[in-house]
Structure 1
Amino acid sequence: MKKFFGGFLIVILLIAFLSACGNDDKGEGSGGNSDTITVWAMGEEGKLLKEMAKGFEEENEGLTVEVQALPWENAHDKLLTAVASGNGPDVLQLGATWIPEFAEAGALLDLRDYVKDNPEFAKENYFDGAQTLMEYNDEVVGIPWYVDTRVLYYRTDILAEISYDEAPKNWEELEDAAQKLADRGDGQWGLDIDQKDQITPFIFAWQNGYQADIENNDLNLDSPEFLGAMEYYTSFFENGYSQQNEGLDIIQAFANGSKAMFFSGPWMINQLNDQVPDIEGDWSVATMPGNTSNTSSLGGSVFSVFHTSDNVDNAMKFVSYMNETETQIEWMEMSNALPARVEAWEDPKLSEDEKYSVFGEQLNDAIPGIQVEEFERIAQELLNSLERVNVGGADLEDEMEKFNQTAQQLLE
C-alpha cells in the first residue's frame, strides 16, 4: 500500500470541530434507509470492488452500491476534506496505518452496538492482529476486510547449493545463509532488504521482543530490544549481504539468482508466476525467520462507517456481505488479498495451497504497526536514520539517539 505523510496536525485541529458537529451522529449507532450506499475505496481495489458490489445488489433487491475508486495519491487529502466538511461516504476503506489518524479525529462511527448484536462481527472471527485494527480508544471503528503479511521468499534450488534444504528458521540461520549467498561472488547478494519499506525494521524489532508502551506514551525506542534489532538490520548492509542501492528489479534479480531471498507479501506470488514462469518449482515461501519470536507485520484494510452517514443500517448490510467467508474467498481470487476471517482459511483453495497456507500460518503471529496516528511519520524518520547508517556510514548509536528524541516529540 502506498504510504502518505502529513495531514496529522490538520486532523488534530479538526477534532474540536468534529466534537461540536459530529458527536450526535456518532452516538446514534443506527438509522437511515437510503436505497443507495456510497462507498469509497482505494486504487485498483476500488475498481475491483465495483464488480464485487454487483453480487450484493443481486442479493439485496432495491439496494444500489455506488463505489468511488480514489487514486492512492489523492485519497488521504480527500479523506481529510471529508472530515473537515462532514460530507463523506457511508462506507470507507481504511488501511491499517490510517485508522488511528481518522479515529482520533472522530471521523468513524462507533460500531460497538452492531458487533454486540451480530455474532458475525465478533472479534474472535478474525486473526489476533486484525482484531487490533478494529478498536481505537475502546470504540469499534472498523470491520476487517482483508489482511496481508510478509513472509520469506527464497530460491529452493540455490539455497540447496549452500546446504539449506529448507528456509532459514531463525536470525542465526538467516545471517549464515545470507553470508554464503553473498560469498558466491561480485553481484551476488544474500538477502534483499527494501530500504524504503517502513515496516521491515519494526518486524525485526518485534522478533527481538520489542514492544511500545502506548498507554504510558512511551515508544521504548531506546530499549535494548529495539536497538539490538536495528543493529541486526544494519549488519546486512555493513557486511555486504544486502545491496545498499536499489539495483536490479527484485523479480528479475530473484529469477537470475543474484538475490535468492527477500521479504514480501501475497501479491508477489502471482507476479512471479506471471513474469518469470521459468523458475516455477525452484522457489517457495516460508514463515519469517525470527529471534525470540517469528513475528511478521499485519497490514490490510477495514471497512468503517463515516460518522455523518444517515444510511448506517444499509451500510452495515454491505459490510456484512463483504464479511462473509464465501465473499472473502471470491475477493482473494479477484485481488490476491488475504481473507481476514479465520474461518475462510479452511477453504481448500487456501489450506491446501503450498504457498498460501504459509501466509495463513504467518498470520497467527503478525501484528500491525504501532497504533498511533503519528506512526507513518515516525517510521519514515527511522528509515531516514537507517539510510544514513547503511549508505552514509553514520554511527548507529548516534542516529538512534537522535531518532528516539524525534519520535517522542512527534508522539507528544
Structure 2
Amino acid sequence: MKKKGFIYPTVLAMGLSAVLAGCGGSDSGEDSDAISVWAMGEEGKLLNEMTAGYEEETGVKVNVQAIPWDQAYDKLLTAVASGNGPDVLQLGTTWVAEFADAGALLDLTEHMEEYPDFDLENYFEGAQTSMKYDDQIVGIPWYVETRTMYYRTDLLEEVGYSEPPATWDELKDAASKLTESGDNDNVYGLDIDLNDQITPFIFAWQNGFEFDAENPNFDSPEFKGALEYYTSYFEEGISTTSEGIDIVQAFKDGQKPIFFSGPWMINIMNDQAPDLEGKWAVAPMPAQENNLSSIGGANFSVFHNSEKVDEALDFIAYMNEVDTQLEWMEKSNTLPSRLEAWESPELAEDEMYSVFGEQLENTKGAPPVKEWERIAQELLASIERINIGGADLDAEMDEFNSKVKSMLE
C-alpha cells in the first residue's frame, strides 16, 4: 500500500550518539517476517486492535509491544545502546529532539515524495516542529493534543460573564470575582497545576516570547512578564499551591470553576460529572498578544537501523489515513493529526471538539532542542521557589536563564 505521488537522570543527557556505533539490527519480535511496533501507555494496548486492516491489505504481520510510559524512556535508551529497537516506535513529541540527536531515528527525507500523506502541509503548523530535527524529517504526527479552557458557564454568568473570558485581563477579572463569590475559603477562580510544565510556556508565548536557543532569553521582558502574570494568581489567592481534591470533584463543587486541560477531559467530565451537563463548556485560551496554546501528542518514527523500512513506512501511512485516524479517535479519545480529518462532521460539528480544532490552529510545539525536558523541569523548580518559597522573580529568572545557557553549552 505504498503511496505514490519527566526529570531524567543526568547520565541520560551525556550524549546518546556514542552508544550507536557497532549496533546490530532492529528487533522485529519472534516472527522474522513481521514488523515490530513499540507504542506507549494505553495507546499501546489499543493499537493491537487497529492492525488487522494493515495486515489484510499488505499480508505483513504487526507485532505491537505496549510499554508503560514510566518505563518507555529507559527502554528506548536500551534500544539505542544495543541497536535492538523496533521497526516503528511511538515518541512523545518532547522526546523527538533527544533521540533524533542521538541518531536513533531514521531520516525520512528521501521517502517524503513517495508518501505524499507525510507532507508537512497535511499537519497543523504547530505539529510540524516535532517532525523535524536539524535538516531531517524524523517523525510523522500520529495524534495531537492541545490545551483549552474548561469553565462553568453557570458560575461565570453569576459574576457577569455570559461569554468565556477572551483576554488575560478578562480571565484575571473573572477568576477574581469567582474567588470572591465563593461561600468559603476553598474557592479558587482559576486552577493552575503547578506540576504542569506546559502552562508557563503557554503564557510566555501569548506574551510574545520566542525562545532563542543560540542566546537563551528567559530573562527577557516577554518571559518575565508572563511569569509575573502566572505567579500573580497565587500571590492574590486566585489559585492555590495546594493540590487539594481531584479537579473533577472541585469543578463539580464550584471550588475550581476554571482550569486548563486537554481533550481527554471531555469524556472524563461526561463520565464522572453527568449532573453538570449543560453547565460547562470549553473555550480557546484567553489572549494577550495572541492566544497560542501548546501542541503535543505523539509521532511515529522509524528506528535508525530497521531492516523493514518500506513496511514500517507503509504501516505509518496506513495509521495516518483519515479514516483510520477517525477510527483511532473513536477508540482512544485522542485527536487526529491530519488536517483533513477535522473536516469530518464528528469533529467539525461537535461543540467541544470543534473548539480544540480551532485552538490547534494557534499552537506552538516545544522547541526542537534535546535539553528541553530538563529546561522545563528546571523552570518548575524556579516557579516553586517563587510561589512557595517567596523567592524574587527577577532574580530567579536571571538564574534560570544562566542555567539554561550552561545546559545548551
| 2:201 is the alignment partner of 1:202 | yes
The one-letter code sitting in structure 1 at the alignment partner of 2:16 is: L
RMSD: 1.7
Pairing 1:163–2:163 present: no
**Could you tell me which residue of structure 2 aligns to residue 146 of structure 1?**
143
CA–CA distance in 2 between the matches of 1:13 and 1:280?
51
2:400 and 2:235 mapped to 1: Cα distance?
20
Q: Deviations over 1:179-219 (max 9, x none)?
A: 101111421111000000001000000000000122xx223
Q: Does the 8 A contact of 2:129 with 2:367 survive in 1?
A: no
Shift of 1:81: 0.5
- The answer for the alignment partner of 1:52 in structure 2 is 50
**Per-residue deviation, residues 73-124 of structure 1 (Å, max 9, x unmatched):** 1110010010011110000000011000000000000001111222111110
Whether the 8 Å CA contact 2:19–2:80 is kept in 1: the answer is no
Check whether the contact 2:38–2:88 (CA below 8 A) recurs between aligned residues: yes
Alignment of 1:367 with 2:364, yes or no, is yes
Aligned-partner Cα distance in 1 for 2:236–2:353: 33
The separation in 2 between residues aligned to 1:342 and 1:291, in whole angstroms, is 26
Q: CA deviation at 1:8?
A: 6.4
| TM-score after normalising by structure 2 | 0.94
Could you tell me which residue of structure 2 aligns to residue 188 of structure 1?
187
The aligned runs of 1:99-110 (5 Å cut-off) are 99-110=96-107
Structure 1 contact 171–290 (Cα < 8 Å) conserved: yes
Aligned counterparts of 2:47 and 2:258: Cα–Cα separation in 1:
33
- 1:29-77 CA-to-partner distances (Å, cap 9, x unmatched) read xxxx9630100010111000111112221222x2110000011111100
**TM-score of the aligned structures, taking structure 1 as reference length:** 0.94
- Partner of 1:74: helix, strand, or coil? helix
The Cα offsets for residues 348-379 of structure 1, whole Å up to 9 and x where unpaired, read as: 00000000000000000111122211111111
Counterpart of 1:83?
A: 80
Which whole-Å CA distance do the structure 2 matches of 1:252 and 1:10 have between them?
A: 38
Distance of 2:218 and 2:393 partners within structure 1: 13
CA positional deviation for 1:391: 1.6
- Give the corresponding residue for 1:247: 244
- Aligned partner letter, 2:7: F
1:247-267 Cα deviation digits (max 9, x unpaired): 111100001111110000000
Checking the alignment, whether the CA contact within 8 Å between 1:149 and 1:363 is kept in structure 2 is yes
Q: Name the count of aligned residue pairs.
A: 398
For the 8 Å contact 1:152–1:285, the answer to whether it is kept is: yes
Structure 1 residue ranges without an equivalent (≥5): 27-32
CA–CA distance in structure 1, aligned partners of residues 188 and 255 of structure 2? 6
CA shift, 1:310, in A, is: 0.3
1:16 partner letter: A
| Alpha-carbon distance change, 174 to 149 in structure 1, aligned in 2, over 3 angstroms | same
Aligned residue among 7, 12, 18 for 1:5? 7
1:30 maps to which residue?
Answer: none
Aligned to 2:335: 338
Rounded Cα–Cα distance in structure 2 between residues aligned with 1:253 and 1:187: 10
Q: Secondary structure at the match of 1:87?
A: coil
The letter for the 1-side match of 2:72 is A
Q: 2:310 maps to what in 1?
A: 313
- Cα distance between partner residues in 2 of 1:85 and 1:25: 9
| Helix, strand or coil at the partner of 1:301 | strand
Match of 2:130 among 109, 112, 133: 133
Q: Distance in 1 between matches of 2:246 and 2:33?
A: 47
Task: Read off the aligned partner of 1:49 and give its amino acid letter.
Answer: L
Match of 2:35 in 1: 37
Shift of 1:13: 3.5
Distance 1:254 1:291 in 2: 25
| DSSP-derived class of the 1:383 partner | helix
Superposed CA deviations along residues 311-340 of structure 1, whole A, max 9, x for unmatched, are: 000011100100100011111111111111
* Partners of 2:37 and 2:64 within 8 A in 1: yes
Indicate the percent of aligned positions where both proteins have the same amino acid: 61
1:118 and 2:115 matched: yes
Distance 2:367 2:131 in 1: 14
Whole-angstrom distance in 2 between the partners of 1:5 and 1:105: 18
Distance in structure 1 (CA, Å) of the matches to 2:305 and 2:71: 21
Go from structure 1 to structure 2 and tell me whether the alpha carbon gap of 1:314 and 1:11 turns closer, same or farther (over 3 Å shift). Answer: farther
Equivalent position amino acid for 2:269 in 1? L
For the residues of structure 1 that align with 2:140 and 2:256, how far apart are their CA atoms? 38
The CA deviation string for residues 209-249 of structure 1, in whole angstroms up to 9 with x for no partner, is 000122xx223101100000000000000000001111111
SS in 2 for 1:40: strand
Amino acid at match of 1:163: G
Query: Paired residue for 2:3?
Result: none
Q: Tell me what 1:14 maps to.
A: 16
Residue number in structure 2 paired with 1:29: none
CA distance in 2, matches of 1:112, 1:34: 27
Asked whether the 8 Å contact 2:115–2:317 carries over to 1, the reply is no
